[in-house]
Amino acid sequence: MACAPPPWQNYRDRRRLLLRSALVGLIVFLAAFPVARAHHSAKPVYIGLAVFIGLLGWGSAPLADFHCPQCGEPFTHNGRHRNLFTRNCLHCRHPRWAEPMQ
């Protein structure tokens, strides 16, 4: 019988996805500059920027949807207030990385 992963493992995985997608997007954006220079056009830079922004949005969506292991509410947003890198749940103020109380 497999045991459940620690409550914060899912958060770590989601955060790694965001960081990896940001890194790939940045590489694509920076690679667009030599291509633009070789073709004497700004279009590759705009395409690289669009890819970078798209990958940031794609990578941040799962992190924004993470639910607090303590209260079950979304950890990173509370109505209109959003903070993907908050240290405490925006609903119950449960600290990030702390074990949920029973």
Residues contacting residue 20 through CB under 8 Å, at least 6 positions apart: 59
**Domain ranges (residues) in the chain:** 21-56, 65-102
**pLDDT confidence band for 2 (50 / 70 / 90):** low
CA–CA separation, 95 and 102 (whole Å):
15
- What is the rounded CA–CA span in Å between residue 51 and residue 70? 36
The average pLDDT across 36-60 equals 95
pLDDT of res. 102: 67
Residue 5 has pLDDT above 60, yes or no: yes
So what's the pLDDT on residue 4? Answer: 58
Give phi and psi for 93, each to the nearest 5: 65, 20
Q: Is the pLDDT of residue 3 over 80?
A: no
Q: What does the pLDDT look like over 39-48, one tens digit per residue?
A: 999 999 999 9
- Determine the residue type at 101: M
